[in-house]
Structures are given as structure tokens and as C-alpha cells.
Amino acid sequence: MMKKIQISDHLKFTPYQYTWIEEDGAKYEWSLISIQLNRRMIRLTDYHKYVGAVNGSKHAYYIDNDSVRRVCNFLTYALFKHYGRYNANRITDITFQSAVDYLNEYSKTKNSMGDYPSRQSVEKERYAICHFMKNLKEKRSDYDEHFYVKKVLVESTNANKLIGKKRSRAVWEYEIPAKYLGNSSKGLLRDIPQKAIPILLRAVKREEPELVLAVLFQLCAGIREGEIVNIRRANSIYPNGIRYVKENGEFISYEVDLSKEYVLRSDGKKTGKIKIKRKQTIYPIFLEVIQEAYEEHLKMINGKYLEPEAPLFVNNSINAKTGKRMAISKQSYCKKIVNIMREIVLPELLRSDDIELKVFGMMLNESNWGLHAFRHWFTVQLVLNGEDINGIAFWRGDSSLETAYAYLQNKGEVMRLYEKASEEVGNDIINAINKEEFYGL
């Protein structure tokens, strides 16, 4: 007998993104939740308002798109895929057990590479599901029975200027348990030895010279990959792309405006996303290296071949319609740098007589690696230079103190792994690069 196919087998919840542009060129994006039947949208819902840590967000475009995607997967699991198991007809009928089952199944599901989800991935999944369930609040019959997620205060001693004084910090506590089956040896490698940085920069200079400044922005200001491709030149039609102050010909301040997302391509395609809108300042010890790289970058980028949006980092190809070079995308930028790391830097590390570099090369060869490692390296420099919890959060452009706290908790280990920090870090990079005629003619 032929198996009867349920219509629920063809239904799924999916993110629906709607982007619009204001008259001043600012770009906004709504992230909603839709229902699809055989990949055709049949209905938009208002479920997005239950996504995230804050219930009933006034503006949907403030919602984390990844959290929306995770909630969509969970809703498909509980309402459609396993309708016969939970008999849930609406989101307020979703049971506590279905959330437990979903997270348990997610943690045990291998990806195409045969790996289990990492601890970080499981935690992000749990965060999205638990906050969604909590945000339904009084609409749920079992709300009084299950708290799903709540904020609790814990006391701890921070390793900063206020040594010995205890502070309270808020952390999330989850009722739904999580399992971590991922192999830590296949996790994301974040640490980069100080002496490996000049090797990487020299390789980028040889292979993709117009991206040297982009890498330095990540290393010297902790700017994320999606934010890098949103940076525009000072002469852009959109205001305040870059601001700097010179004194006796030298930078004494340098600021990148990431307070708004603008459309930087004439074809309207996205370049990347600004995670936290802000004005990001270069950390003072790196001003000299940024000035040298910035001025060299402007020489390479001929303004007459750029579109009026004046993106700071552009593709090599020319737009057939405008005859101009368009902004590079996050995907293209990341691919170029990762390829350099794997094909150029890795072999050099493995050939090195320096045991630290060789070990790092071996670790890199056996681990995943991404450009977010640059932001980690930058944060380590902040810790080594004596920044306290508020200083780290400020220079990283964070909206909370959670990440800064985590680094300070491990400050002793960081100090052990890295050389003693000083204001010579930036100069060390410049000197190491100059030995290879990095910017020489």
C-alpha cells in the first residue's frame, strides 16, 4: 500500500526578509517568519515579535536574523514535522517536551562533514528557542510551570583595576538542558601567535594588496567581516564614512562610521551586515600602522573608477553598466583571506624552524579557521595592555560586558600564552613588515 503523504510534510516555517532604502540611502531589513508550502509562501505571520531577548520588539529589523532562522526550524519541527506526536495546532500549544526533544535531536544531528554541532552552535540554538518560548508569556498555559529562561545575578571577582572588589553580573539560566557532542579538536581555531601576524600580512600584500587595510581594521579595531565591507571612503555620497585627526602629519585619532547600513553597490546587492551599529575608533597603539596602510590604500584605489557610494574595499571586476568597481561582498572578502591563509600562510608555517609557528601551522591544518580570529587577537591585545572590563567592551564596540568578562576571567591564561604586551606591539608589526619591503617601491 502506498504511504499516505500528509500535507504537513510539505509545510515549513521560513525567514522572510524585506529590505528597503530610505531617502538618505540608509538600508533597513525586516526579518519576518512565513509559512511555505512546497517552497511557495502561503502566509506571513507575526511570530517574529517573540524572537530574541526582548519581547515585542518595536522594529523587526532589530531582530537577529540567525535567531529567526533557528526559531523557524523549531516551529517546523514542533508544528508540522511532528504534529502527530505533539498535537500542537498553534504556537501557544507547543509543549515543553517538544523544545527538549528538538534541542536534543539538534545536538545529535551531524552535518555534511560528519561532525556534531559545536558547543557554541548548540548554545545559540538553545538561546533562540528558550527566549521564543519565554516571550509567549501569559499566552502559554504552562508558563507558570516552566520558566524556560531567566536572568540571574552572580557575584565574581574581575581581574581588572578593581581587583579584590566583587561585582554582580547577569547571566541567562535555561531550564531546557543541552548536550555537547561536538569534537573540540575540530572546533574553530581562534588563537594566532603574535609572530604569525606579519607573515599573514605579507601574504595578503602579495596576493590581495587592496585588502591589507581591511585585515588591519580587523586586527587593530576588532571590526567584523560583515562590517568591513560596509566601510566607505570619506568622499562617499553618504556622510561621515571615515574621520581622522592629524597633528604634525600623524594620526592622533581615526574613526570608522558604522552607525548606519547603506547600499554601497549600484546593483543593490548586499555587501554585509553591521552587527552593532556604532562609530568604531582605532586603538591608539595601532594608529601608526593604520595611517601607513590607509594612505597606501588610497593610492591603490583610483577614485575615478569607484562608484559614487565610494566603498573603501571593492571587487577587481568592472561593472559593465557603470564602468565602475563595486563594493566587495563579505563572502568574497572572507573567501580571499581564507584562501591566502590556507594556501600561502599555512605552508610557510609548516616549513618554519620556529617551534611556535610550526605548532600553530599544525593546529591550523587540523582545525576550522575564520576571520573572526582577528577580532579575538585584537581582544587579547586589549587584555594584555591592561584594559578593564569597560575598556574592553568599549574598544570592541560591544553592547554588553559578557565577552569582556569572559576574557578577563582567563587573563592569567592569556598572559601565559602571549608575550608581555606593551605599546610596541603596533611598531613590532610595522618593523616586521618593513623588513620585507612591505610598502617599498
Rounded Cα distance, 35 and 42, in Å: 6
Confidence bin at 36 (pLDDT 50/70/90): very high
Cell matching residue 170: 547577569
Enter the pTM of the model: 0.72
> Residue 181 class from Cβ within 10 Å (0-12 exposed, 13-18 middle, 19+ buried)?
middle
Rounded Cα distance, 5 and 80, in Å: 13
Taking Cα atoms as reference points, which of 43, 127, 122, 117 lies closest to residue 80?
A: 43
DSSP, res 134? H
Q: Identify whether the C-beta of residue 67 lies closer than 8 Å to the C-beta of residue 52.
A: yes
Distance of CA 219 to the CA centre of its chain: 14
Amino acid at 274: I
Domain ranges of the chain: 7-185, 188-434
What pLDDT does 54 receive? 61
Q: Identify whether the C-beta of residue 79 lies closer than 8 Å to the C-beta of residue 94.
A: yes
Residues 190-219 have pLDDT tens digits of 778 888 999 999 999 999 999 999 999 999
What pLDDT does 166 receive? 57
Planar angle of CA 326, 331, 333, nearest 5 degrees: 65
The segment with the largest mean pLDDT, out of 70-74, 265-269, 304-308, 365-369, is 70-74
Q: Identify whether the C-beta of residue 425 lies closer than 8 Å to the C-beta of residue 381.
A: yes
Q: Please state which architecture CATH assigns to domain 188-434.
A: Orthogonal Bundle (1.10)
Looking at the chain, how many residues does it have? 441
Q: Identify whether the C-beta of residue 231 lies closer than 8 Å to the C-beta of residue 311.
A: yes
Amino acid at 30: W
Residues 246-276 have pLDDT tens digits of 999 999 999 999 998 888 888 878 888 898 8
Residues 103-153 have pLDDT tens digits of 999 999 988 778 888 888 899 899 999 999 999 887 877 778 898 988 887
Q: Identify whether the C-beta of residue 232 lies closer than 8 Å to the C-beta of residue 311.
A: yes
Cell matching residue 276: 552593532
Residues 395-441 have pLDDT tens digits of 998 877 777 877 777 666 566 666 544 444 555 555 554 545 444 32
Instruction: Supply φ then ψ for residue 142, to 5 degrees.
Output: -105, 20
Rounded Cα distance, 63 and 99, in Å: 21
Confidence bin at 280 (pLDDT 50/70/90): very high
For the chain, percent of residues with pLDDT exceeding 90: 42
> Residue 112 class from Cβ within 10 Å (0-12 exposed, 13-18 middle, 19+ buried)?
exposed
What pLDDT does 158 receive? 47
Residues 307-314, mean pLDDT to the nearest whole number = 88
Taking Cα atoms as reference points, which of 211, 195, 374, 221 lies closest to residue 284?
A: 221
| Residue 2 clears pLDDT 50, i.e. is over it | no
What pLDDT does 189 receive? 74
What pLDDT does 412 receive? 61
Residues 21-50, mean pLDDT to the nearest whole number = 85
